[in-house]
Homo-oligomer: A and B are copies of this chain.
Amino acid sequence: MPQQRKTQTIPKAPVARILMNAGAKRVSAGASEAFADFIHERALTIGEKAARIAKHSGRKTVHGDDVKLAARR
């Protein structure tokens, strides 16, 4: 099977591992993919907020606190 990748996203393996840590006995390929997609979308949203917050503070570099503030809203 040729490896098909959409655009860059979160790798599936750590995502599946987190699901297992969260109490899943087994995880389907679709579950890891749905999860990675969900995380990716959330991450983009938070990332956009963090980038705006950094810009608003006159910085080009996004700092950890920007991410924390963006994630809180």
Contacts and interface: CB of A to CB of B under 8 A. Distances in A.
Interface size class of A (residues with CB under 8 A): 35 or more
B24 A63 contact: no
A68 to B, nearest CB: 5
A58 interface: no
A43 B26 contact: no
Interface string A37-65: 01110111111101110100000111111
Given A23-B47, A47-B24, A51-B24, A64 B34 contact: yes
9 contacts: A8-B14, A10-B18, A22-B51, A23-B48, A23-B52, A25-B61, A25-B62, A28-B63, A30-B64
